[in-house]
Amino acid sequence: MEPTRILNNEHRVIEQVLDCLEVMARRCRQDGRLDGASAREAIDFFRNYADRCHHGKEEQQLFPMMEARGFPAESGPVAVMRIEHEDGRALIRQMEGAIEEAAAGAEPACAAFVRAALGYLGLLRDHIRKEDHCLFPMAEQALSTQDTQQLGELFARADAAEFGLDERQRLLDLADRLAERFDVARGRVESVYGEPSRCG
């Protein structure tokens, strides 16, 4: 599978959990109390799957290869993507910091959680749209066949040897448990490392 297609597939799973987060935030606002256990699971997913596994491959493998093929590191689309990853990390910390008190029904903490969650939802959905429709097509044009093959090997190594396929599967299972709990549609994804395909 093309490396950018692996990232597209990961986007679909991230969107699935973003949809769950949206329901959590809406209920928190309506009920004045956050489902703390589900929010902690969502943070686990965003921190480890969306950030460490997915943004990790973008920041450590894809972006450096794009920079080596002429995309500037300090400005332009790659630099913007790196800044948005950092903005997302800050919002994850804000959500996490509000969970305990929001789960106990404290109004300011509920408001803080909802504010950070809505910020994260908007940021990530927009970020994913830019990557799917602009950045990845630009990368596919700029990278040679050899680059693409090398990138695929680097991704496989990052996922299997550094991140771990068991951890990856744990987080995919978590994403599906959350989707079931919040009655959210599953992202349609292809099998990358032999996990069950969800192409329908």
Binding site for Fe ion (CB under 5 A): 58, 81, 131
Please state, in angstroms and as integers, the Cα–Cα distance from residue 177 to each residue in 17, 174, 185, following that order: 10, 5, 11
Distance in Å, CB of 51 to Fe ion, minimum: 9
Nearer to Fe ion by C-beta: 81 or 184?
81
Distance in Å, CB of 195 to Fe ion, minimum: 19
Distance in Å, CB of 81 to Fe ion, minimum: 5
187-196: b or e for each residue (b if 16 or more CB lie within 10 Å)? bebeebeeee
Tokens of 39: 């929010």
Matching residue, tokens 């700029």: 142
User: Within a 10 A sphere around the Cβ of 124, how many other Cβ atoms?
Assistant: 23
Alpha carbon distance 35, 105 (integer Å): 10
Alpha carbon distance 25, 183 (integer Å): 14
Nearer to Fe ion by C-beta: 131 or 176?
131
Distance in Å, CB of 109 to Fe ion, minimum: 29
Nearer to Fe ion by C-beta: 15 or 58?
58
Nearer to Fe ion by C-beta: 111 or 154?
154
Nearer to Fe ion by C-beta: 68 or 134?
134
Distance in Å, CB of 136 to Fe ion, minimum: 8
Alpha carbon distance 192, 186 (integer Å): 16
